[in-house]
Each structure stands twice: as C-alpha cells, then as structure tokens.
Structure 1
Amino acid sequence: MNDTITTTAATTTTVRVNPTTWSTAYGFDQGQLRPMPQRWLTVAGQGPVDEAGALLHEGDVCAQLSLTMRNVESVLTAAGMGYPDVLRMTVYTTDVDATLASYAAITERLELSGATPPTTLIGVSRLAQPGMAVEIEVTAAR
C-alpha cells in the first residue's frame, strides 16, 4: 500500500511507504520517502508542562498526551513548520498500556493536518519529572 501525498511545501512530494496496513490504525506510516530538505528542526523531548515548565495533569495520561502534542506543535509553529513537516516522532512513556488506550490524543492532532509521520513508542521506567507519563520528540524538515 504505497501512496503519494503532498506536504505543506508546494513543490515537495512525500511517498508513503506501507508494505502492510496495520500502522494506519495508529495514524502513522511505516516509512516515508522525501526529497532532500533545506531546513532541519530537531525538537527536544516535549512533555505535559506549562510555560514555566511545571508538570500538569499528573495521573491523566490522555491529558498529558494532548498537552504534549500542543507543546510539540508550538515548537514546530515557532520554526515555521507544522506536523506535515515531521520526519519522525518518538513517544516515550512510563505506561505503554495507558498511552495506547489514549493514543487518539496523538492521532487526532496529526489527522487535523493530514500528517502520518513514522512513529516509535518506547516504554521507559522514568521521565524527566516525577509524575510525567509521556514525552515526545520529533525531527522535522522542510
């Protein structure tokens, strides 16, 4: 199931590479072929924190995912990019089951922009702040 989509840059074509379809239920492509970008953005792990860095929504993985995605989007926007420019996304979590149960908080945000970046979910024992259940890092290019 290989198909082509157009990203935010008018002259840039992304070829979606999906030899099987299981990943579409999670809103990501298994691979993407893109032309060489002119600008790279590496986004440090973003978490469910406010503007001062204080943790919000302790104990609520869904709310943490939603806020984390907003924080990722803020960095992308500040760089003049958006989710369609994301080449790779890594989701770190201290609770894989709860994250999978709340995964719509990720896919809803991506679907709004038509993005399907290759994504990896990694279970970890702890994140930067006590009570933080999720952290997301991305690499974007345009």
Structure 2
Amino acid sequence: MEKRIINPWQWQDERSYVQAVEVTNATGTLYVSGQTAISADGVSSDADMKSQLLLALENLEHVINKAGYSCENIVRLNIYTTNTAELWPHFNIFQEWTTKHNVKQALTLMEVKSLFETLKVELEATVVK
C-alpha cells in the first residue's frame, strides 16, 4: 500500500490532519463504525467529554488492531460531538494520539444534536493496508 498526502497549505499541520490522502496498491480497506465511550460490556458512559474521548480512542484502536490493521493507516476520520466547545479544550488528547500513531488522515469534525444515550463523542474511521 502506498499513501500520498496532499497539503496545499501548512495551517492544517497544527490541527493534526491533512487535506487529502491518496491510496494506491491497497490490499484491504476497513470501514470502522463509530466508536464511542461504551464499555466492553455495552454500557454507555455518562462521564465528562475528556473521559469519553479517551475511551472512544481506546475503542477505536482496539477495533483496528483486532482487525489486523494499524492506526497509522487511518486515511479518513470523522469526529461527531454533541458539543464542539466542550470537546475543543481536550482536542490535544486527540492530537497526541494521532502523533503517537503517526496518523495522517483527512478529517471532518461535526457537531450533532445528539448521539446514542449519554454519549458525547463518536469516532468513525477508514483504514487501509
């Protein structure tokens, strides 16, 4: 698999994403359902945004690894949140996670009216190999 990052500007570098990712010669594509702060026994978290973001990232990583893929090969990530202003002070957690895994992904952040039960943030990814 080969990835080519397309960044016609530099300002997005500080925000931990890229403008576009081209993938050629991929041998597989994994479409990951939205991962949230749901425990292994299926209980939705009612914790604060920071705690939910940490668990959602942990769950995303777990699914990707279980499928035999690598977080480094995330090419598309959508973040859904019920409150962007509440998420923003904790965005460094997301940035540290992407740096740790050397993720260079196209990114969309959307504020939505609600998520399942008590959830505040959901991460949806496309991964290649």
Q: TM-score range by the shorter chain?
A: over 0.9
Mapped pair 1:52 → 2:41:
yes
Aligned match for 1:37, one of 8, 15, 26 = 26
* CA RMSD, 1 decimal: 1.2
| Residue in structure 1 matching 2:88, options 78, 93, 100 | 100
Q: How many residues align?
A: 129
**Corresponding residue of 1:125:** 113
Q: Deviations over 1:40-71 (max 9, x none)?
A: 11111110111011122x25111111110110
Q: Taking structure 2 as the reference length, what is the TM-score of the superposition?
A: 0.93
Q: Which has the higher contact order (CA 8 A, sep 6+)?
A: 2
1:36, CA displacement in angstroms? 3.2
In 2, the alpha carbon distance for the partners of 1:136 and 1:117 equals: 13
Q: Distance in 1 between matches of 2:2 and 2:65?
A: 21
Q: Which runs of 4+ in 1 moved over 4 A?
A: none
Give structure 2 stretches of 5+ with no counterpart.
none
Q: 1:87 aligns with which of 68, 75, 78?
A: 75
Residue 122 of structure 2 corresponds to 135
Identity %: 24
| Runs of at least 5 residues in structure 1 that lack an aligned partner in the other structure | 1-11
TM-score of the superposition, structure 1-length normalised?
0.85
Superposed CA deviations along residues 64-99 of structure 1, whole A, max 9, x for unmatched, are 111101100000000111211112000000001111
Residue in 2 aligned with 1:77?
65
- Structure 2 letter corresponding to 1:85: N
